[in-house]
Structure formats: structure tokens, C-alpha cells
């Protein structure tokens, strides 16, 4: 007898449950003739920011680009070290490498599968310019000791919340705790798109301006890194 195969996700059923709303949204976009950026994207940014309690949400192509743009906006570049979890999708490390920095992977807490704050502290060196905790499977990393360490050492914190939309840590939404965070809207994520997408969550207006835009915005951020 052939083994039973359980699909990882049933996109057809997911779409069927929202079909009327999706058809209406697609019709609005088709009727507007504005297929890239524009009012629908801006409205999504505003609604996302309001829902998560952050000043700015900058919509981008995907979660990897959200991490890349955030690192560039923070000035992370060649010769810098970025401490992050050893347990994450490859794209967390690849985004750090694309910035020209060196990812420093740390062990996870076996009870949460997120970066162990003590391991993070041991990994910090004078070259450390950022810490990228990953909120894996919707479960928040233990942010309080990581944020305390970062404040003491003058290190930026970029939260990889690509798989934790709306999850909370001590009453606050992850991705907003350190001032800048990244989300992914890959179809299998907690909040999936009909394709791909991502967003940078950022409180500082200056950082938001550096991240906002298309390829030109990415080029400006890279020049400043």
C-alpha cells in the first residue's frame, strides 16, 4: 500500500475561504492600472504598522530583502560581525553575508529553539555591530537580556520575525522590540501572500526613509553601508 501523503499546506483551500475578498482586491488593482507600489501598497503599510504598533512598515519584495535593507540602513558592512541564531532559514545568514558582514552563529536554548541569550553574550566581540534574534515558529526569542546587552554595548538589534507575525513578548509584538524588524509574506508564513513579499518594521523615521523605495532605495542604502 502506498504511504499516506499529507500536504504541507493546502493553498487551494486557503484561497477558497477568502475567494470573494481576494477577487474584490484583485479587481481593485486591475481597475486602477497601478500594479507596482501605489495606493494599495501604501494602505497595506499603514494597516500593518497600526496593527503591530510600529510607526512605519516598509513593504518590500520578500523577507530576505527586508533583512538586507534593514542591515544596510543600520550601516552594517564589510568587516562587521552580526550575531544570530544557528537555527533559522538560510536566508538570515545569507542576508548578513550580502551586507558584507560575517554571521556569527550561536547555540539555541533547547526549550525554545531560539538563540540562547548567554550564548549571544559570549559571542559578542568588538567587531559585533548587530544582533539578529530569530523568532522561530512564532515563538518569541528571550528578548529582555538581548536588548539589555545591546544597549550596554551599543549594538543594534534587528529582529527576524519572518515567521512570527503578531506574536508577543511581554505584551509587545515581536519585530517592534528593538526598533527595527523584518517580516516575510512567503505563502507558507503565518501571514502569506499570493506570491512573495516582505516588510521592514521600523520606528525611526530616518531609517524608514533609507529603507523605503524600490531598487533606487536599495542602492542608496548600500552606498551608506
What does the block give as the cell for 52? Answer: 503591530
- Fold that domain 61-224 belongs to in CATH: 3.40.640
Please report, for the chain, the start and end positions of each structural domain, with discontinuous segments joined by +: 61-224
| Spatial distance between the Cα atoms of 1 and 68, rounded to a whole number of angstroms | 47
Q: For residue 1, give Cα distances in angstroms to 4, 5, 7.
A: 9, 12, 18
Q: Kindly report, residue by residue over 34-65, the tens digit of the pLDDT.
A: 988 889 999 999 999 999 999 999 999 999 99
Q: Kindly report, residue by residue over 148-189, the tens digit of the pLDDT.
A: 999 999 999 999 999 999 999 999 999 999 999 999 999 989
How confident is residue 8, by pLDDT bands cut at 50, 70 and 90?
confident
What is the mean pLDDT of the segment spanning 75-95? Answer: 96
119 φψ region: left (φ > 0), alpha (ψ -120 to 50), beta (else): alpha
Other C-beta atoms closer than 10 Å to the C-beta of 162 total 29
Q: Which helix (H) or strand (E) holds 143?
A: helix 143-153
Q: Which helix (H) or strand (E) holds 58?
A: strand 56-60
| Spatial distance between the Cα atoms of 149 and 121, rounded to a whole number of angstroms | 7
Sheet with 102-106, edge to edge strand ranges: 102-106, 81-85, 128-132, 156-157
pLDDT at residue 53, rounded to an integer: 94
Q: Is the pLDDT of residue 6 over 80?
A: no
More confident residue, 8 or 210: 210
| Spatial distance between the Cα atoms of 106 and 99, rounded to a whole number of angstroms | 19
Amino acid at each position: 500500500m502506498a504511504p499516506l501523503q499529507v500536504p504541507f499546506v493546502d493553498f487551494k483551500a486557503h484561497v477558497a475561504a477568502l475567494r470573494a475578498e481576494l477577487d474584490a482586491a484583485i479587481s481593485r488593482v486591475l481597475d486602477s492600472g497601478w500594479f507596482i507600489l501605489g495606493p494599495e501598497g501604501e494602505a497595506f503599510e499603514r494597516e500593518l504598522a497600526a496593527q503591530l504598533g510600529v510607526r512605519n512598515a516598509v513593504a518590500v519584495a520578500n523577507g530576505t530583502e527586508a533583512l538586507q535593507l534593514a542591515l544596510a540602513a543600520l550601516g552594517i558592512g564589510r568587516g562587521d560581525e552580526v550575531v544570530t541564531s544557528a537555527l533559522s532559514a538560510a536566508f538570515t545568514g545569507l542576508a548578513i553575508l550580502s551586507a558584507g558582514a560575517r554571521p556569527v552563529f550561536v547555540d539555541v536554548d533547547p526549550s525554545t529553539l531560539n538563540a540562547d541569550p548567554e550564548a549571544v553574550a559570549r559571542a559578542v566581540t568588538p567587531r559585533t555591530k548587530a544582533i539578529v534574534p530569530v523568532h522561530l515558529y512564532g515563538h518569541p526569542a528571550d528578548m529582555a537580556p538581548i536588548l539589555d546587552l545591546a544597549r550596554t554595548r551599543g549594538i543594534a538589534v534587528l529582529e527576524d520575525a519572518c515567521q512570527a507575525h503578531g506574536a508577543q513578548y511581554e505584551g509587545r509584538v515581536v519585530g517592534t522590540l528593538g526598533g527595527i524588524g523584518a517580516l516575510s509574506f512567503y505563502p507558507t508564513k503565518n501571514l502569506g501572500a499570493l506570491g512573495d513579499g516582505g516588510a521592514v518594521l521600523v520606528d525611526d523615521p530616518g531609517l524608514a526613509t533609507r529603507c523605503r523605495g524600490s531598487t533606487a532605495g536599495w542602492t542608496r542604502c548600500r552606498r551608506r553601508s
